[in-house]
Amino acid sequence: MESKIKVEREWAGKKLILETGELAKQAGGAVLVTYADTVILATATCSEKPREGIDFFPMTVDFEEKLYAAGKIPGGFLKREGRPTEKATLTSRLIDRPLRPLFPEGFRNDVQIVAMTLSADQENDPDIPAIIGASAALTISNIPFNGPVAAVRIGLIDGNFAVNPTFKELEGSRLNLIVAGTRDAIMMVEAGANEVSEDEMLKAFQIAHENIKEIISMIDELAAKAGKKKLDLPVYKPDKDLEILIRKNYTGEIKKAMRITDKQEREQAFSAISREAAVEVITREAGDARDRLLSILLDAKSYDFETIIKKIQEEELRNMVVDDRFRPDGRRLDEIRPLDCKVGVLPRTHGSAVFTRGQTQVLTTVTLGAPSEKQNLDSLAPEESKRYIHHYNFPSFSVGETRPMRGPGRREIGHGALAERALLPMIPSLDEFPYTLRLVSDVLESNGSTSMASTCASSLSLFDAGVPVKKAVAGIAMGLIMKGDKFAVLTDIQGMEDALGEMDFKVAGTRDGITAMQMDIKVSGISHAVMEQALSQAKAARLKILDVMETSLPAPRTDLSKYAPRMIIIVISTDKIKDVIGPGGKIINKIISETGVKIDIEQDGRIFIASVDMEAGQKAQKMIEKLTQDVEVGEVYIGKVSRIMNFGAFVEILPGKEGLVHISQFGGDRVERVEDVANVGDELTVKVSEIDSQGRINLTRRGLVPGFEGEPAETGAGSAGRPPHRGGSRDRDDRPRKPYRR
C-alpha cells in the first residue's frame, strides 16, 4: 500500500493541506485538498487512446456538490443529488477555463476531472480549493499538462484587500474576484464588484498573482514527492504536404475573405474554399503523394483541411491587426461597432429592450413578481434564495444554424450568471422595491459578445420596467492578438476575432466603476501590461455605450407597466400574524379568493400584497387591517349582527371580533324583545363602551340613536350579566348567556 504524502502551509490565516497516495489511487491523479474545514477530492483521468473524428480537445470537468458535506439532505422526492445546480455548473467552468489552454496542442485523448466536495464548512467557498485540487491532480498524474495553475479569491473590505474572504466577509466586500494563473502569468479572471475602479482592480490582480505563486510552489513540492512520469501520447497534426499545397493555392483567397465586413458574406466566401474544391486542385497535381492527399480530403472524419485553413486565418489576422493595425471589418483597434437601443418594444411585458451592436442583437424582458416567487436554492452555499434572476438563451437561428432546442447548457448558464452579476449591485433592495425580478435575455443575432449585449439590454429593460436601479450598466468585450513579442488589444471583438484571437475579456460597469469581469485566454498567460491596456480601452468603450443608452431612456420610468402587479406593504405586530393566516390558512385563503391578489407574509410582520388591480389590492389591505386592528374603547364601528340572544345581540365589529349590545343599550324606549330591533345579518352602528378584564367587548348605541343619551335603569347590563368567554378571548363564544333580569 502506497504511503500518504502531504504538503501543508498557512494561507490567509487558515491551513491549506494537499494530500495524495491514500484515496482514489486508480485515477490518473488524485489530490485531497483541505482548507479550514472544507475538503475537496479532485481526480484527473485520461483515456488510453485519442478519440477519432474530432477537431477539439475532449476534456470534461464535473464539480460534484454532495449535500452531506454540509450536513444537508437534498430536497425533493428522491432525496439524492440530481442534475448540477447553477453554482456547481459555474464552478465546473471555473475549473475548466484556466486548465484547458495548458494541454498540448492537438491533444485528443479524453480527460475527465472530477472535484467532489466531501466537507463544506459553509464559511469558505469550495471553488478555490477545487481549482487548486484539479491542477494538483493533473500535475502529479501521468497526463501531459503544462501546468500547474492555482487560484485565489480577493475581496475589498473597508478599503483593504482580503485574501480568500469567507461568505460572511463577502457580504461587506465591494469585490469578489477569482484569479487563476501560472507562476508567470494570469490565465483566468471572474469577478463581481460594486463599482471598483480600474486601478483597484489592477492592484487586486497583483495581490492575487503573488498568492498564486505561493500555492504553485506547494503543488510543485507535492509533484516532486509523488509525481508520475508523463505519458508520451500522440497529438494530432495535419499532413505537412497537404498544408504546403493548400497554402500555395488558397492563401490569397483567404486574405480576400478575411477583409469582407459582413459576417454572412465572409462565411460564404470561406465556404467557397471547400474540400471539394481542394480535391480538384490535387487531381491536377502530379507525384506519388497525390492519392494519399486525396484520401485525406475525401475522409469525412478528417479535419486536416479545416485545421490548415484555420491556421492560415489566424496568421493572416495577426498580420492584419498587429502589423497593419487593420481589423477584418475595417474598424480601428479601439472602435465600437454601430449601436442601436430600443425600449418598450413589447406591449404586455413589464419591461423590454433591444440592444444592437453591429451584428449582435439581444432582446431582454423583465417580469415583476411577488417576493414569494423568489428562486429557492438547494446547494452547499449558505445563500438559500435569490429574488433577482437572469436567464440567457442562445437559439440556433441567431447564428444562422439549425439544431434542436434543448435546455440551457453550461455556456448559457455562465453567460446568464455574468450578466446577472453585472447588474446585481445596482438592483434596489427588497425594502426599496418589494418585488422578485426575472430577466430573460434572448439572443436574436450573434457576432461576438452576446453576454455584454445582454447586460446592456437588461439595464435598459429595467429602466423601461420602472425598476429604480441605481445606475445604468453597460458592458464590452476586449480581445487580444499576439505576434511574437508584439500585441494588439481590440475593443468590441466580433466572432472571428474571438475564435482566432488569444483573449476574450469582458468588462461591465457603470460610469463610476466595474461591476463584473470575465477573462479567458488561449495562450499560457498574459502580462500586466496587457491587462492594464485592456481595462483602459474597456472603460472608454463603456462610457461611449452608456452615452448611447441614455439617449434611448436616461432614467428609470416613474410608473410601472399597467400589467405589472402593484405592491402594497403592511407591517403588523408579529403576534397578529396568526390572526391573518387563520386556522389552516382559512382566513388568508378567503382574502385571496375574494380579491384575487397574492399575499406574502414574512416572519418579521411584513405583509406584501401584489395585484395588477389596485382596487383589489386596497380591498385586501382593508381586510387585513381590520383583522389586525385592536378594538378601542370609545371608537364607533359599523358591524354585522351575528347572533341573537334573549338578553342582547352579538355584533361582529372586526373580522373574528364580536361584542355584545345588551338589550338595554339599543335605544331610548324600552325594548322587550331583541328581535324587535335587530336580526342576524343587520348592520348596526355601535360604540365600544367597555373591554373588561377578560377581554370581553361591551357595545352600546348610546349617543348614536336620537333620544338615547341617559344612563340605563340598572348597571347590570355590562359584563356582570354575561357569562365569561372561554379563555378570556375576545373571539365569539357560543355558550348560552344568562337572561337579563330587570
Q: What are phi and psi of 292, to 5 degrees?
A: -65, -45
Pick left, alpha or beta for residue 282 (phi over 0 → left; psi -120 to 50 → alpha; otherwise beta): alpha
Looking at per-residue confidence, does 176 or 55 come out higher?
176
Distance CA 116, CA 120 (A): 11
CATH 1.10.10 residue spans of the chain = 240-323
**pLDDT-derived band of residue 738, with 50, 70 and 90 as boundaries?**
very low
Letter for the amino acid at 88? A
Lowest pLDDT segment from 128-137, 301-310, 346-355, 512-521: 301-310
Q: What is the pLDDT of residue 664?
A: 87
Is 543 a residue whose pLDDT tops 70?
yes
- pLDDT bracket for residue 739 (50, 70, 90): very low
pLDDT of residue 710: 55
Residue 210: Cβ-neighbour burial (10 angstroms; 0-12, 13-18, 19+): exposed
> What pLDDT score was predicted for residue 365?
98
Q: Please give the CATH number for the structural domain made up of 339-552.
A: 3.30.230.70
Alpha-carbon span 520 to 635, nearest angstrom: 70
CA 712 to CA 666: how far, in whole Å? Answer: 11
Q: Which residues fall within 8 angstroms of residue 6, CB to CB, at 6 or more apart?
A: 17, 18, 19
Query: Residue 718: pLDDT band by 50, 70, 90 thresholds?
Result: very low
- 494 pLDDT band, cuts 50/70/90, is very high
Q: Which of 115-119, 178-182, 400-404, 510-514 has the lowest mean pLDDT?
A: 400-404
Residue 442 has pLDDT above 70, yes or no: yes
Confidence category of residue 33, pLDDT binned at 50, 70, 90: very high
Cβ 58 vs Cβ 376: under 8 Å: no
What's the mean pLDDT in 462-469?
Answer: 97
Q: Where in the chain is the domain with CATH 2.40.50.140?
A: 636-728
Whether the per-residue pLDDT at 119 is higher than 90: the answer is yes
Tell me where in the chain the CATH 3.30.230.70 domain(s) lie: 5-226, 339-552
Cβ atoms within 10 A of the Cβ of 291, count?
A: 9
Q: What are phi and psi of 499, to 5 degrees?
A: -65, -35
**In angstroms, rounded to a whole number, what is the distance separating the alpha carbons of residues 382 and 472?**
29
What is the reported pLDDT for 286?
Answer: 64
Q: Reply yes or no on whether the pLDDT at 714 is more than 60.
A: no
pLDDT surpasses 50 at 719: no
pLDDT the model gives residue 282:
83
DSSP secondary structure letter of residue 526: B
User: If you average pLDDT over every residue of the chain, what do you get?
Assistant: 90
E-strand ranges in 429-577 read 436-445, 474-483, 486-491, 503-510, 513-521, 566-571
Domain limits, CATH 3.30.1370.10, in the chain = 566-628
CA diameter of the chain: 132
**Three-state helix/strand/coil letters over 78-139:** CCCCCCCCHHHHHHHHHHHHHHHHHCCCCCCEEEEEEEEEEECCCCCCCHHHHHHHHHHHHH
Secondary structure (3-state) at 601: strand
Residue 741 has pLDDT above 70, yes or no: no
Peptide bond into 724 cis (omega under 30): no
Cα separation, 29 vs 46, whole angstroms? 10
- 10 Å CB burial of residue 13 (0-12, 13-18, 19+) is exposed
Q: What are 190's three cell numbers?
A: 471572474
Full DSSP string of 28-57: SEEEEEEETTEEEEEEEEEEEEEPSS-SS-
pLDDT-derived band at 2, boundaries 50, 70, 90: low
pLDDT score of 235 more than 80: yes
Rounded percentage of the chain residues whose pLDDT exceeds 70: 95
Its CATH architecture, for the domain 566-628, is 2-Layer Sandwich (3.30)
Q: What would the pLDDT profile of 587-604 be if each residue is shown by its tens digit?
A: 899 999 999 999 999 989
Residue 731 pLDDT grade (very low, low, confident, very high; cuts 50, 70, 90): very low
pLDDT tens sequence across 81-106 = 888 999 999 999 999 999 999 999 99
pLDDT of residue 707 exceeding 80:
no
Contacts of 298 (CB under 8 A, 6+ apart): 279
Q: Are strands 388-393 and 436-445 parallel, antiparallel or unpaired?
A: parallel
Q: Does the structure show a pLDDT above 50 at 722?
A: no
Average pLDDT rounded to a whole number, residues 157-168: 96
pLDDT tops 90 at residue 198: yes
Least confident of 52-61, 83-92, 278-287: 278-287
Q: Higher confidence at residue 377 or residue 185?
A: 185
pLDDT band at 740 (very low <50, low <70, confident <90, very high): very low
Average pLDDT over residues 21-36: 96
| Torsion on CA atoms 585, 591, 592, 597, rounded to nearest 10 | -140
Q: Do the Cβ atoms of 587 and 595 come closer than 8 Å?
A: no
Region 636-728: CATH code = 2.40.50.140
Q: State the CATH class of domain 5-226.
A: alpha beta
Give pLDDT, residue 742: 31
561-597 pLDDT, tens digit per residue, is: 999 999 999 998 888 898 899 889 988 999 999 999 9
Q: Is the pLDDT of residue 672 over 80?
A: yes
Predicted local distance difference test score (pLDDT) of residue 296: 87
Looking at domain 240-323, its CATH architecture is Orthogonal Bundle (1.10)
Q: What's the confidence (pLDDT) of residue 524?
A: 84
701 CB-side CA count, 13 A: 24
Range name among 297-301, 358-362, 483-487 with the lowest pLDDT average: 297-301
